[in-house]
Chain A
Amino acid sequence: AVCDVRFSGGIRNETVTLGRDASLECTVEGLGNHKVGWIHLKRQMIVAVHTRMITRISRYSVTHEDDKTWTLHINGVREEDRGYYMCQVNTKPALSQVGYLRVVVPPTIVDEDSSDSEIQVREKKNVTLRCSGRGRPDPRLMWRREDGSMIVPDDRNPVRQVDGEVLQLASVSRTHMGSYLCIASNGVPPSVSKRITLKVEFPPQI
């Protein structure tokens, strides 16, 4: 028998923030008595067959409208949910198409891998401030002074902002004192920052 089942469109890829709900739509025409199945490719896990949930992960569910639009819902998305999902119809041969679920994670600053929030150093010494960020995609890190003044990494070259995990200050003087902000951002709101206060000790003067 000629089989008239076909997909009426691709699965639209979706980007979702960790913890939010996601859904992927598979649109089919002429399904008849055939069934739609969902598989998560990376975990090679059968998620559902028709309206029956096979996975025991209760965050997953399936709804359908008029046997045409089959929607896979994922509540409270986790990182391991990312990846390609296959929508499969049990025709002979089987029809299948895939769509990608991208899971993004807002940035955080990892305190254990970052400098303490208060640092004391003697005048004329070099000092290194560190900041470690996590998130998906990997966050970009930048340094600014809290009061908006210029950062002076060395004698010559004052800058508004320093990019990267590390801020190196050479031969610090009392003008370096103050609060530095490490800002982590990756396009997924909200950006976060950590304040590191630098105290420079100098001998008493009369």
Chain B
Amino acid sequence: VLPQRPLFDDAAPKNISGLTGNAAYLHCLVHNLANRSVSWIRQRDLHILTVDRYTYTTDQRFQVIHSEISKDWILKIKYAQVRDSGNYECQISTKPVKSYIVRLNIFAPQARIV
């Protein structure tokens, strides 16, 4: 029997939009993970954000949410800012690595006097 290879579930949205000041949630659904790692990386500067359930970045707005019974590895960005916009990569430590890219767009709310 061949070992099952991990794979991403395309049901996770690849485009997330939000407003500044709110929390943004980036989803990454992984099947057959076994003992491999799931990491989140910010592509702009290749900053490692989280590895499994450990938060590597010391920017405390970032956090990974995952429960044992879930396939979802959610990157939560608190108080999202316009500068957080960009691509985020969910990476599985296979050989070679597998990546799922999520685009985040954060907009500043615009007030308009009618």
Contact = CB atoms under 8 A, between A and B. Distances in A.
Contacts of B37: 46, 54
Given A43-B97, A46-B39, A56-B93, A92 B48 contact: no
Interface string B20-42: 00000000000000001101010
Contacts, number: 63
A37 B42 CA distance: 14
Nearest to B51: A49
A151 interface: no
B15 to A, nearest CB: 20
Interface stretch (A13-21, A83-91, A124-132, A196-204): A83-91
Nearest to B56: A90
A43, A52, A54, A57, most chain B CB atoms within 10 A: A54
Nearest to A3: B58
Contact of A91 (B36, B39, B58): B58
B48 A90 contact: yes
A39 interface: yes
B57 A94 contact: yes
A160 interface: no
B5 to A, nearest CB: 12
Given A39-B46, A94-B45, A46 B57 contact: no
B95 A46 contact: no
Interface in B46-64: 46-48, 51, 54, 56-59
Contact of B46 (A55, A56, A91, A96): A96
Interface residues of A, number: 22
Interface in A43-60: 43-46, 49, 52, 54-57
B93 A54 contact: yes
B56 A44 contact: no
B45 A96 contact: yes
A37 B56 contact: yes
Interface of A: 34-35, 37, 39, 41, 43-46, 49, 52, 54-57, 86, 88, 90-92, 94, 96
25 contacts: A34-B58, A35-B56, A37-B56, A39-B46, A41-B46, A44-B46, A44-B97, A45-B93, A45-B96, A45-B97, A46-B37, A46-B48, A46-B97, A54-B39, A55-B95, A56-B94, A56-B95, A57-B95, A88-B47, A88-B48, A92-B59, A94-B47, A94-B57, A96-B45, A96-B46
The 9 closest A-B pairs by CB, nearest first: A92-B58, A45-B97, A94-B47, A37-B48, A54-B37, A90-B56, A92-B59, A46-B39, A90-B58
Given A39-B41, A46-B39, A56-B95, 19 more contacts: A35-B56, A37-B48, A43-B96, A44-B41, A45-B91, A45-B93, A46-B37, A49-B48, A49-B51, A49-B54, A49-B56, A55-B93, A56-B93, A86-B46, A88-B46, A90-B48, A90-B56, A91-B58, A92-B59
